[in-house]
């Protein structure tokens, strides 16, 4: 395996791990929102969003780097990382709305 491919796989894994960490924080945020602790829920959502933002920055750099090459190549693991990150981004948007609904119901 070339050094470049190895580095790209490592970055892809970082995207997956950051996205997974974000997912866990979003799940915890939903749990505490169900218990009406909206301050804690917001804090957890922000922490998760920060992880997701970090993953997105890595993804963007990888794509930009590939575009600059004559024959761009991205590893299969990157496709999985992108899919994972995009799924968690969708979950974020849905969970954020659900937490707002919980808040409305409680007020």
Instruction: Enumerate domains of the chain plus CATH numbers.
Output: 3-104 (1.20.58.80)
Model confidence at 4, pLDDT cuts 50, 70, 90, reads confident
Q: Is 70 exceeded by the pLDDT of residue 83?
A: yes
Model confidence at 39, pLDDT cuts 50, 70, 90, reads very high
Put simply, whether the predicted model's pTM sits higher than 0.85 gets the answer yes
Phi, psi of 74 (to 5 degrees): -125, 135
35, 102 Cβ separation under 8 angstroms: no
Model pLDDT, residue 96: 96
Model pLDDT, residue 1: 55
45, 99 Cβ separation under 8 angstroms: yes
Q: Is 23 a catalytic residue?
A: no
What is the distance between the alpha carbons of residues 94 and 20, in angstroms, rounded to a whole number? Answer: 16
What letter does residue 2 receive in the DSSP assignment? -
CB atoms within 10 A of CB 24: 15
Q: Find out whether 31 is annotated in a ligand binding site.
A: no
Q: Is 80 exceeded by the pLDDT of residue 31?
A: yes
Phi, psi of 105 (to 5 degrees): -60, -40
Residue of 40, 47, 80, 96 marked active site: 80
Mean pLDDT rounded to a whole number for the chain: 94
* Alpha-carbon distance values, 93 to 5, 16, 52, 73 (Å): 32, 18, 12, 31
Lowest mean pLDDT among 49-63, 68-82, 83-97: 68-82
Model pLDDT, residue 99: 96
């Amino acid at each position: 395996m070339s050094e470049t491919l190895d580095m790209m796989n490592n970055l892809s894994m970082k995207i997956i791990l950051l996205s997974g960490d974000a997912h866990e924080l979003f799940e915890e945020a939903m749990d505490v929102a169900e218990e009406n602790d909206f301050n804690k829920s917001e804090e957890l959502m922000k922490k998760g969003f920060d992880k997701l933002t970090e993953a997105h920055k890595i993804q963007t750099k990888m794509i930009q780097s590939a575009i600059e090459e004559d024959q761009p190549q991205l590893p299969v693991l990157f496709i999985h990382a992108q899919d994972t990150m995009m799924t968690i981004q969708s979950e974020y948007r849905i969970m954020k709305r659900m937490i707002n609904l919980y808040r409305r119901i409680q007020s």
